[in-house]
Amino acid sequence: MAANEQVAFSSREMDGLCINTIRTLSMDAVQQANSGHPGTAMAMAPVVYALWQGVLRFDPEDPIWPNRDRFVLSIGHASMLLYSMLHLTGVKTVDPDYEVLGQPCVKLSDIQRFRQLDSKCPGHPEYRWTSGVETTTGPLGQGVATSVGMAMAGKWMAAYFNRPEFELFNYNCYALCGDGCMMEGVSGEAASLAGHLKLSNLCWIYDNNKITIEGNTSWAFSDDVATRFIGYGWNVTRVGDANDQEMLARALHSFHNTSDRPTLIIVDSHIAYGSPNKQDTSAAHGEPLGDEEIKLTKRNYGWPENAKFHVPGGVYEHFQDGIGRRGHDLRVTWNEKFNAYKTKYPEQASHIELMQARKLPAGWDKNLPTFPADPKGVAGRDSSAKILNVLAKNIPWLIGGSADLAPSTKTRLTFDGAGDFTAQSYGGRNLHFGIREHAMGSILNGLSLSKLRPFGSGFLIFSDYSRPAIRLSALMEIPTIYIFTHDSIGVGEDGPTHQPIEQLASLRAIPGLVTLRPGDANETLEAWKVIAQMHHQPVVLVLSRQALPTVDRSKYASAAGVAKGAYVLGDAPGGKPEVILMASGSEVYLAVAAYEQLTKEGVKARVVSMPSWELFEQQDEAYRNSVLPPDVEARVSVEQASTFGWAQYVGSKGARIGMKTFGASAPLKELQKKFGFTPEAIVSAAKDAVRKAK
């Protein structure tokens, strides 16, 4: 049958034709790539068809319509399932500036080049690479955890923007997950919080196929998932056969009628292969079926055995008449409602438009505090708290919280009306993640993907618990904000378990992530100004627990240099130093003290504050050389953390003062003396560096 040939089908026959089109596109793409996972796509095709064609409020013509339903493919290895849907429903491309361009985001030629260089169909779904992909997935559990953030964003936006006559936000979030997602701890963290918050706009669909890479799940997994989720406070329903469209529709109806909790739909699936003895395992995880098995399977479907990437006549039109028409009508109605809303509530409407474009409201930086010189100073977390509260008051969609550490990280929003985000009040600005650092990171990503500006906080040592989500925020290029306090051995008596050593170096190693470690209160202010204006870069803000002297800016350079990542804080006469002292964060004041001592002794020294290596590397070569002149080889770096990475700035003749072991439990001043973080030690290292350079 030619692809454009029109044949009259019954409704049930057309359902089957569309489902088998999804299956065969997935089989053919994986086979042609000789790489991938066809099994799950084949088994879950009826489920995704029922969801997309039957209920999803999504307009392929405008895949970033603000009140669209979200679909997250948490089982990212089944990416061909999503690419098939994006292709068959005709989802249009959107560029990074959020302008709908009009051409299909996944062409048949992209599917034919599945997993190949520059195809819009990479091995796992990539946000910002393929329009219609709501979040990057692949690391199991991340997708479902991120969907919790999307659902929370929907509840918050409804509370903030909706009015009795204008229900602008009421979207639902669907996430398709599997046994691997259920085993990963992050899904349990996220599901627990979702149940606690009674997120009734959240639906997870669990492919209960009992297969992982090693074989049957019985080797390692025997959880009663239904009982577990009932314990989390979820509505749980079951579909005994993934092919049963009526039961799938009934389960989705149950979700829509549940108003006080999230829903888990457990779907039992089995892949119908051509060979009766074929097992699910290889196809579900990483092996093509093989040409002969594909022919047998297509014969089983009543499909042309030798046709590849075959889309029968009527399939495109059927999707256009279903999700296409429904999504279009819903979006047009929403736009009409939004235009009326703009007339009655212009300020709130402008906020929606600004959020969608990741822009800031006018006056976002008004009333920000500045800090006078003070030798006693203020802790980084305390100055940040003052700045954050002003910023959040100016930017209504700046919201966040901590993994049970707000009293320590000083991230609670305390201004009038800030409130708490709870199941009883979704409009609060303070989020409470509980002791769930991993899920917190994923949820922050979901909030950010929904165009809120979220922050989450914890101790720097526990950034390790959040690392998979931090990495994904960098991969997706979304401006999630991570605030980590207790930045060094300055934690003191808490000892090695709480003293971060390698964390700064490992965060700096993540491509696209900006780390900012300000050295005093005014550097913290400038760091927040940089953070607020980020569009496509996540940021880690690293702050001290202990007080840091506030630098006298009448004697030293303006803290505005933070925006360039590194700047000359104090210099030698005529700007001709013979030694450069470099430091970040809580060690800057030590470097300043050493600089002053060296200056008294007639040593021509320069002190450079380096709060962000990433921002510094973004500057042109002329600026970088003006801060770190190549001909000045005597250099000393100071950081109460691993020295890893500092060699690129110190060079072969310089010295690196840092941690080469784990810390110890003792008061801070004793630790600084033990590990060499004193002005005297820096002065000595500087003089040695000068001698070596000469």
* Pairing of β 374-379 and β 547-550: antiparallel
Measured in degrees and rounded to the nearest 5, phi and psi for residue 496 equal -60, -30
Which residues have C-beta within 8 Å of that of residue 173, sequence separation ≥ 6?
Answer: 69, 70, 72, 147, 150, 151, 154, 201, 202, 203
Which residues have C-beta within 8 Å of that of residue 198, sequence separation ≥ 6?
Answer: 233, 260, 261, 262, 423
Q: Is 574 left (phi over 0), alpha (psi -120 to 50) or beta?
A: left
Which residue intervals of the chain bear CATH 3.40.50.920? 561-693
Counts for the chain of helices (H) and strands (E), in that order: 26, 22
Q: Token pair 């088994």 is at which residue?
A: 43
Report the half-sphere exposure of 510 (CA within 13 A, side-chain side): 25
pLDDT score, position 210 = 80
Q: What are the strands, taking DSSP E only, across 141-286?
A: 173-178, 202-208, 211-212, 215-216, 235-239, 263-268
Report yes or no: 458 and 496 within 8 Å, Cβ to Cβ: no
Interatomic CA distance for residues 390 and 367, integer angstroms = 7
Q: Identify the three-state secondary structure at position 236.
A: strand
pLDDT score, position 4 = 42
Tell me which CATH homologous superfamily contains domain 11-330.
Answer: Thiamin diphosphate (ThDP)-binding fold, Pyr/PP domains (3.40.50.970)
Please give the structure tokens belonging to residue 381. 């977390």
Q: Which H or E element spans position 456?
A: strand 453-459
Annotated catalytic residue 578? no
Q: Which H or E element spans position 375?
A: strand 374-379
Q: Count other Cβ atoms within 10 Å, centred on residue 146.
A: 36
- The pTM (predicted TM-score) of the whole model is 0.95
Rounded to the nearest 10 degrees, what angle do helices 346-356 and 325-344 cross at? 130
Residue 91 DSSP label: P
pLDDT score, position 182 = 96
Bridge partners for 546 per DSSP: none
Average pLDDT, the chain: 94
Interatomic CA distance for residues 293 and 164, integer angstroms = 57
pLDDT at 215 over 50: yes
Between the two ends of the chain, the Cα-to-Cα distance in Å is: 83
Reported as a pLDDT band with limits 50, 70 and 90, residue 274 is low
Reported as a pLDDT band with limits 50, 70 and 90, residue 251 is very high
Interatomic CA distance for residues 147 and 393, integer angstroms = 27
Per-residue pLDDT tens for 358-391? 999 999 999 999 999 999 999 999 999 999 999 9
Which residues have C-beta within 8 Å of that of residue 511, sequence separation ≥ 6?
Answer: 474
Which one of the listed residues 134, 293, 437, 587 is annotated catalytic? 437
Interatomic CA distance for residues 150 and 146, integer angstroms = 7
Per-residue pLDDT tens for 92-109? 998 776 677 789 999 999
* Pairing of β 173-178 and β 202-208: parallel
Report yes or no: 470 and 448 within 8 Å, Cβ to Cβ: no
Chain Cα centroid distance, residue 477: 8
pLDDT score, position 492 = 83
Q: Is 34 left (phi over 0), alpha (psi -120 to 50) or beta?
A: left
pLDDT score, position 273 = 57
pLDDT score, position 436 = 96
pLDDT at 498 over 60: yes
Per-residue pLDDT tens for 319-348? 999 999 999 999 999 999 999 999 999 999
Rounded to the nearest 10 degrees, what angle do helices 679-693 and 588-600 cross at? 60
Per-residue pLDDT tens for 165-183? 999 999 999 999 999 999 9
Reported as a pLDDT band with limits 50, 70 and 90, residue 1 is very low
Which residue intervals of the chain bear CATH 3.40.50.970? 11-330, 374-549
Residue 347 DSSP label: H
Output Rg (C-alpha) for the chain, integer angstroms. Answer: 28
Please give the structure tokens belonging to residue 588. 């800057």
Comparing CA positions, the residue from 174, 151, 138 lying closest to residue 58 is 174
Q: Count other Cβ atoms within 10 Å, centred on residue 669.
A: 11
pLDDT score, position 195 = 98
Is the domain spanning 561-693 CATH 3.40.50.920? The answer is: yes
Reported as a pLDDT band with limits 50, 70 and 90, residue 10 is low
Tell me which CATH homologous superfamily contains domain 374-549.
Answer: Thiamin diphosphate (ThDP)-binding fold, Pyr/PP domains (3.40.50.970)
Per-residue pLDDT tens for 183-203? 999 999 999 999 999 999 999
Bridge partners for 635 per DSSP: 580
